Amino acid sequence: MSLIIPIAFCLLVFLYLGIYNTVIRRRNAIDQAWASIEAMLSKRYDLIPNLVATVMQYMSHERELLDSITQLRTQAQAANSKVPEGVMADDALTKSLSGLLVSVENYPDLKANASFVQLQKSWMEVEEQISAARRFYNAAVVQYNNSIQVFPNTLIASIHSMKPTETYEAEAIAHERLNAKELFS
Amino acid sequence: MNQEQTETFEVLFQQKLLPLLQDLENKRKSLVPPLRISIVFVILPFLFILFLPTPKTTTQIDTQSTISLILILVLFIAIIAILIIYFKYERKISRPFKKSIVPPLLALVNENLEYSPTGSISEAVYKKVNLHGKYSLYHGEDLISGEVSGVPFSLCEIHTQRSAGSNSDGKTKYKTIFEGFFLEAKFNKPFLTRTIVCARGTKPRELKNILSYLSSTLERIHLEDPDFENLFDVYGDNQTEARYILSPSTMERMKALQQRMGTRVEFSFLEEQLYVTLASRVNFLEPRFFKPITDDGYLKDYLYTLNLILEIIEDLKLNDQLGVNTSKPDYL
């Protein structure tokens, strides 16, 4: 009888530690996933100057659009893409880039340019990698949210002020981005 | 087979294959009766020995010993006869079949295919693909290689086995680990880590051994498609890259492929290659022994199977090249 209380106490401590560690691991997975998104976004930002420079030689009439892309790139790169402003800047940039790539249809010489074709491929690859990183992030968020919203985890989560995190829902443009390949077909 | 392929097959069969098959059929017919007799002489001694009454007197023991000796001798001769017939079948039917019948059949699917009856994708490749369980014997044959829609590929039949104890006579028993087709094709995206798509409820070989499990970098990857998760368990070195490879559209195609094949299909992505294994017990591209080989039905089945497997390349859109560099992605 005298052992029951210490054993129960030990079990509770182990349970607490187990749940706490699981939740922390899942929270860290979110950070890791976020780092992937940022790495991919940075790769895309690096690609834009080359894209603009190549396109500019053929699309002098679209100078305004090209300038706005360069400006949006600077804004998006400077902003923290985790906050709404950052997401908005990123979406605006993607929207402009999509507009640019639709305009390419009117420039057959540009479409045949070898370095542009190369850039197209790189751009599509980066877009797919961004999409994959977002899916990883959202999967990590769902796992984390589930782990702090079920009983008895919810008690430990409230003790440590752990709050559910929002999934990365880019605007509708994100879906257009997934279809980037169609823009080039 | 499509209509055009069926028509070409009919012409090829009547004009070129049938005369060759007729010759092989005559040889087959000459081998079947001796084989049947030999099989009977293997079974009968067994039955005799099994049903011999227990000897009670010394004379009976002597008689039964003599009978047993004769039966064992008969059994031995019958086994030797079966082996001789098998080697004759190999030399006179199987090899000529693979030399003269298979290449024109493959040319119907694609004229640029190369065929090696004894060749296979190397065991080293199978080992690193990390699918299925631990094995001790690897056998591959019927290597077909070439390009489909500009995608280089190799395909062969493989059979892996693992020793499972020994028989009462001391011979090692073997248990089949995997039997079927093994396809290797260039994947359309550059990637650096491993992603392994196992059948539901199974794991990569690396995670089945306690030592390699402890040092493994593979982790379970839960994807957002519940139907896909019902069919496959995904393991990979990198969560992001696994999702880059397994895009929603690729997952859809893999689900459709699994349903269309109706067999256990597994995938492994490594070193910019896609490896697919399809479980099958069909002895592919082999002439039949107990049935006439002049019948065109089984040849059509071989063509159908080959088309089905090679369609994987088009189904998964491996010709839709994406990406240009193979530099290390920033997230790795």
DSSP codes of every residue in B225-292: -HHHHHHEEEEES-HHHHHHHS-HHHHHHHHHHHHHH-S-EEEEEETTEEEEEEE----TT---SSS-
Contacts of B225 in chain A (CB under 8 A): none
Instruction: Kindly determine whether residue A39 and residue B189, on different chains, have CB atoms separated by under 8 Å.
Output: no
Residues within 8 A of A (CB atoms), B 267-326 only? 321-325
Instruction: Kindly determine whether residue A136 and residue B189, on different chains, have CB atoms separated by under 8 Å.
Output: no
Nearest-angstrom CA–CA distance, A142 and A149? 10
Q: How far does B248 lie from chain A, in Å, by closest CA? A: 10
Question: pLDDT for B141-159, tens place per residue?
Answer: 999 999 988 889 999 999 9
Instruction: Kindly determine whether residue B224 and residue A135, on different chains, have CB atoms separated by under 8 Å.
Output: yes
Contacts of A136 in chain B (CB under 8 A): 239-240, 243
Per-residue model confidence (pLDDT) at position B127: 92
Per-residue model confidence (pLDDT) at position B242: 94
Nearest-angstrom CA–CA distance, A99 and A177? 11
Instruction: Kindly determine whether residue A133 and residue B224, on different chains, have CB atoms separated by under 8 Å.
Output: no
Per-residue model confidence (pLDDT) at position B322: 55
| List of chain A residues with pLDDT < 70 | 1, 80-86, 170-185
Instruction: Kindly determine whether residue B330 and residue A139, on different chains, have CB atoms separated by under 8 Å.
Output: no
Nearest-angstrom CA–CA distance, A183 and A101? 7
Read off the pTM: 0.78
Per-residue model confidence (pLDDT) at position B233: 96
ipTM here: 0.72
| List of chain B residues with pLDDT < 70 | 1, 319-332
Question: pLDDT for B18-36, tens place per residue?
Answer: 999 999 999 999 998 889 9
Please tell me which of the candidates A42, A136, A143 has its beta carbon nearest to residue B243.
A136
Q: Are B279 and B117 in contact (CB under 8 A)?
A: no
